[in-house]
Chains A and B, each alone.
Chain A
Amino acid sequence: QQQVKQSPQSLIVQKGGISIINCAYENTAFDYFPWYQQFPGKGPALLIAIRPDVSEKKEGRFTISFNKSAKQFSLHIMDSQPGDSATYFCAARGDNFNKFYFGSGTKLNVKP
């Protein structure tokens, strides 16, 4: 079964708009929650990450919101740009061996 559930599967946003991608998990032992960005033909690359003792983390136009009690976290992309068009994966780390469980990915298309 999928340890991390991600939605939506795809997202179309106008340039300048806000993109929001949501993830949910069940395992309370997860201790680190990164978001990865993947462009076509490339490997995923770390975008931003958060630990469960923090409710929000912001880096430039990218913000993670984390709700520990609801076991949910989300990625917000402010002022979305066509260059942000990519597939985004949320993930959660399950143990000390850096075993990451990935969401199913969200394909974001930012229209000019």
Chain B
Amino acid sequence: DTAVSQTPKYLVTQMGNDKSIKCEQNLGHDTMYWYKQDSKKFLKIMFSYNNKELIINETVPNRFSPKSPDKAHLNLHINSLELGDSAVYFCASSQLASGNTIYFGEGSWLTVV
């Protein structure tokens, strides 16, 4: 059973399109994250939700909109995709109060052409 699963794993799309990446965790954690890993492997947090409430919102273009329907799911919607959005997007989860470990999904490779 995959602890943090995200779909799709690969996504190739044209500039200007709108796309979504879905994430689900079955670890019972109360906090979920989206991280972006660029071509130089640099990992940077984008958003975090705790029990469906936004708690971390880094400087990210408004074209990126996270949505957490419940604490086990965190989706990322991207409007008007640009070439610079090409990256690997990682979903992750943790138990905020008791755990320090964040568990990552396997990533979603987004290529904008």
Residues in A lying within 8 Å of B, measured CB to CB:
32, 34, 36, 41-46, 49, 87, 89, 93, 96-100, 102, 104-105, 107
Contact indicator B105/A43 (Cβ below 8 Å): yes
Contact indicator A100/B45 (Cβ below 8 Å): yes
Interface size on B, residues (CB 8 A): 25
Q: Determine the residue in chain A with the shortest Cβ distance to B100.
A: A32
Q: Determine the residue in chain A with the shortest Cβ distance to B90.
A: A43
Contact indicator A97/B96 (Cβ below 8 Å): yes
- Of B42, B94, B96, B104, which contacts A43 at CB under 8 A? B104
A-B contact count (CB 8 A): 57
Contact indicator A98/B96 (Cβ below 8 Å): yes
> A49–B104 Cα gap in the complex (Å)?
16
Residues in B lying within 8 Å of A, measured CB to CB:
4, 31, 33, 40-45, 48, 50, 55-56, 90, 92, 94, 96, 100-107
